[in-house]
Structure 1
């Protein structure tokens, strides 16, 4: 009798040609993104509207905090990945991260300053453990099935956007509603994060031996080795299981720069980075307002020099590695250049949760009457009900295969969808019965996820076309930056009627929706390219490290987005709100022109990588 090692206990069925385990991850990630974007959409609005029941915050303070929070959210995943690789394992990291984030959302629901800051800290830590490691489980699930891996990540990416869509839609509606309040919005984020945790916990056996901690993996290998030896001495008639190969033992496979003198180089470049940070801090502190509060001081004086010094030291340490061959060094430099230019994209794009939210809250006509109100009701019903119907259908497909073995997980997931349908039904009922429904400020952010779902298949087909200039990474980057800039140009045009320094206005919501369309089209040019080029260009032993460089770029961009957005009032007083958004149009488009100009040099540095 031949036996096989079962790594994927759910292999008896498939959903759209993929393992049911992928859809456990799909829904887990969906609820986590629900919680993240649901909280994020309320963060700035809550602070500038009511804060902690005292005096609402100034826009500059709210946007500074937004930048610090979203920046750190992209920094901690590097630490969380290392902890999972060396100590926790991916599954435990996901569970622990989800538990910490649940506590963070619960703390914020009380709307008190101490618990609010505690909640933000817990969310930063929890996200660092959760975000990189659930993606790693997806990759390991398809380790021996590379042909379907791209499709699996596409499905997983749709789960991310589905969660963002639902979180923004429901948390913004209930959080901004006078009948409910921000505590309800923050609380909803926590409830669905907890549901994601429970659903994952009771279904994790579906992953077989994937995602175990290093210690668990070693114990499993020892037991299988022992079992193999036992079978080998059985009487004739028994067959040794030849497939019981040693599994990953959790051995530290983290790529390192390596080479003799690593420590000395690290100290040298660390001192250089520290010196640059000190000089930069002196220059900044000389020109900044000495009366600024602590939050603005941290955001404007301390963070920029720390980031600059760290980046210089980190990059210098990498490129000074003598073990790098010329081709490898050139490709590493090309990754650094890609990372540098992507900062400009996400710096502008992440205004969605900052200055664009301020624009939606204070400068957009959101109280609708008559025909406009009816069109909003019908459109909102359509864009809400149809996606949730599709997700419910996927849920039933998962139930049909996994309910017998993972009934508790399935029942929790089913309960979550019942709650979603009740929340949506109540929201639509209230909007239809209100004489003049008010569109929540956060509602406009759903269009990013909605447009991704609508246009992603078309872009995937476009990249498959044999169009020569579109096959070049720098051109795709430049196209993405240009589309993003055009989106902000639309906002700048829409803001022309707003007087300089005005605190409120009522411009058409068309401008915001059109801006989100162009921003999303730009994202679809950037997102498929960035990570792909890192994996292609990085030397094998440095793949993890170079992905770290790419995440650092996102960290810088998110922090810079909040920092720049915090100057919205003084800039608007000088050149108007139209001028403020024109900056975010001009900078990415200028970066795109420069990127095209150096694309020939980049092609040489990439040494044959298209």
Structure 2
């Protein structure tokens, strides 16, 4: 029997005030899931170097491969959610796999490392793309409150990343709660935290999903029950069978190389194949989308040093003081960006509004260019830390954190805008493909981040800690110059891209 408190989708979308109440439930589910994801992210490279005895170069490549698969799977998970499972079942299934993966890592991270990672990768693929789709469906198409809703949701993402990004690694490396957690269990507890918060995330979702009306239910309602069940069960089975393959691919990064060489060109060729049937106007917009996609690869390749080479830099070369407060350098590296996003996202939004009122707001492509200029500034500051180093090769955590402060403004110029640009530039028929390519661009970014980090690490083999600091700093100097060039190129070609974008702002 339907209770009277059940809302229809129209009633949800006609909510009063600023936010629909369902946004809060999705906010908390996503917050705990991002706690799990960023908590894990901060632990991977350090664990591989310190406990799996990998050298830093290999650990960077492993990290790049792991993260690349996570993002490649969000594309696949999104497709299966759209076509078979529906958003809710997909999200639930992904959450279960993530919990299993985190529990495996908590029990025996040393011998079951790649098994746990395999479960987590496939799980994240099913979970991540779907919760934001549900947020979108809380709003009517032209509701002006939608952007505010997404900004608020983005805060949830960053709140989770901030807390998880700091706590997990700080407990694992022993700079937080030393007296409570016995030394031999620190890493188990760090990974265990990720499992615990993922359980909270799933419970939040299952207990509140009644309020979502028909949002995220099965797309196969028109089929008979037995056939629907068969398709769903085949999806579950397939995703479990794919886990061992992922474990092998991540364990041997050469296989990841082959995959990355193939998937990008194939997706671009497929897009060209689709473009035969579109008008010249639509195709121009798609070319503009490709420009954004290609440049976003470069942005993420630099930005995502945070989980790879910057993690090792933080562990080896940073002191643990900011303004007299003792902090975990790695925890700071892993969470500072999220703290600054929470503090300044709204402000950046207000600046764009203020500029728009005065008709001086830069268009999307110039904002992308600005993102690279901020990125260059941040990496230049990472390089500049070398002038604050002591004889043992340790340098200022405060200066390093300031670098993240600058980079955050770059992220705020690119990340929230990029997604909405993709939806505006692609015709309805190719939205899934373009969104998939946007996620694939992140996968490539992560993959190249691993390679860049590995090159920096390779140059610093058998070095003293001070030499290592200089090598890493010089590597960041090079990245700063490349980011600067990319930003200048983007701003220079902006009139051209603007023409391609037609009426899209």
Alignment TM-score, normalising by the size of structure 2: 0.85
Q: Residues 475-522 of structure 1, C-alpha deviation per residue, up to 9 Å, x if partnerless?
A: 1111100101110101111125669xx9x6211112210111011010
Shift of the 14–165 alpha-carbon distance from structure 1 to 2, 3 Å rule, reads: farther
Q: Is structure 2 residue 294 aligned with structure 1 residue 340?
A: yes
Q: How many Å apart are 1:309 and its aligned residue?
A: 3.3
Q: How many Å apart are 1:531 and its aligned residue?
A: 1.3
Q: Which residue of 2 aligns with 1:422?
A: none
Q: How many Å apart are 1:540 and its aligned residue?
A: 2.2
Q: How many Å apart are 1:356 and its aligned residue?
A: 0.9
Q: How many Å apart are 1:14 and its aligned residue?
A: 7.7
Q: Which residue of 2 aligns with 1:521?
A: 409
Q: How many Å apart are 1:15 and its aligned residue?
A: 9.5
CA distance in 1 between partners of 2:481 and 2:360 (Å) = 24
Matches within 5 A, 1:408-447: 439-447=328-336
CA distance in 2 between partners of 1:86 and 1:171 (Å) = 36
Matches within 5 A, 1:12-411: 17-51=18-52, 56-143=53-140, 146-177=143-174, 180=181, 181-216=186-221, 298-299=252-253, 301-320=254-273, 321-366=275-320, 375-376=324-325
Q: How many Å apart are 1:297 and its aligned residue?
A: 9.9
Q: Once structures 1 and 2 are overlaid, which stretch shifts more, 438-447 or 147-156?
A: 438-447
CA distance in 2 between partners of 1:124 and 1:30 (Å) = 18
Tell me if structure 2 keeps the 8 A contact 1:364–1:507: yes
CA distance in 2 between partners of 1:175 and 1:15 (Å) = 45
Tell me if structure 2 keeps the 8 A contact 1:495–1:577: no
CA distance in 2 between partners of 1:13 and 1:461 (Å) = 25
Q: Is structure 2 residue 475 aligned with structure 1 residue 584?
A: no
Q: Residues 135-177 of structure 1, C-alpha deviation per residue, up to 9 Å, x if partnerless?
A: 1111122236723222221111111011111101221221111
Q: How many Å apart are 1:594 and its aligned residue?
A: 1.3
CA distance in 2 between partners of 1:50 and 1:438 (Å) = 22
CA distance in 1 between partners of 2:34 and 2:189 (Å) = 17
Q: Is structure 2 residue 456 aligned with structure 1 residue 561?
A: no
CA distance in 1 between partners of 2:6 and 2:331 (Å) = 49
Q: 1:450 aligns with which of 319, 331, 339?
A: 339
Q: 2:348 aligns with which of 459, 463, 472?
A: 459
Q: 1:484 aligns with which of 375, 380, 388?
A: 375
RMSD, matched Cα = 2.9
Tell me if structure 2 keeps the 8 A contact 1:534–1:546: yes
**Structure number with bigger Rg:** 1
CA distance in 2 between partners of 1:553 and 1:454 (Å) = 27
CA distance in 2 between partners of 1:184 and 1:594 (Å) = 46
CA distance in 2 between partners of 1:10 and 1:194 (Å) = 30
Q: Which residue of 1 aligns with 2:423?
A: 535
Q: Which residue of 2 aligns with 1:546?
A: 434
CA distance in 2 between partners of 1:463 and 1:571 (Å) = 42
CA distance in 1 between partners of 2:257 and 2:499 (Å) = 32
SS of residue paired to 2:328: coil
CA distance in 1 between partners of 2:93 and 2:16 (Å) = 28
Tell me if structure 1 keeps the 8 A contact 2:319–2:329: no
CA distance in 2 between partners of 1:101 and 1:77 (Å) = 13
Tell me if structure 1 keeps the 8 A contact 2:309–2:457: no
CA distance in 2 between partners of 1:144 and 1:577 (Å) = 47
Shift of the 596–206 alpha-carbon distance from structure 1 to 2, 3 Å rule, reads: same
CA distance in 1 between partners of 2:141 and 2:286 (Å) = 28
Tell me if structure 2 keeps the 8 A contact 1:498–1:576: no
Shift of the 539–295 alpha-carbon distance from structure 1 to 2, 3 Å rule, reads: closer
Tell me if structure 2 keeps the 8 A contact 1:75–1:555: yes
Tell me if structure 2 keeps the 8 A contact 1:469–1:475: no
Structure 1 runs not aligned, ≥5 long: 221-293, 377-436
Q: Once structures 1 and 2 are overlaid, which stretch shifts more, 343-352 or 112-121?
A: 112-121
Q: Which residue of 1 aligns with 2:499?
A: 604
Tell me if structure 2 keeps the 8 A contact 1:10–1:20: no
Tell me if structure 1 keeps the 8 A contact 2:36–2:198: yes
CA distance in 2 between partners of 1:35 and 1:546 (Å) = 27
CA distance in 2 between partners of 1:91 and 1:512 (Å) = 40
Alignment TM-score, normalising by the size of structure 1: 0.71
CA distance in 1 between partners of 2:429 and 2:14 (Å) = 37
Q: How many Å apart are 1:608 and its aligned residue?
A: 3.0
CA distance in 2 between partners of 1:340 and 1:12 (Å) = 35
Shift of the 34–297 alpha-carbon distance from structure 1 to 2, 3 Å rule, reads: closer
CA distance in 1 between partners of 2:251 and 2:220 (Å) = 44
Tell me if structure 2 keeps the 8 A contact 1:87–1:214: yes
CA distance in 1 between partners of 2:149 and 2:305 (Å) = 30
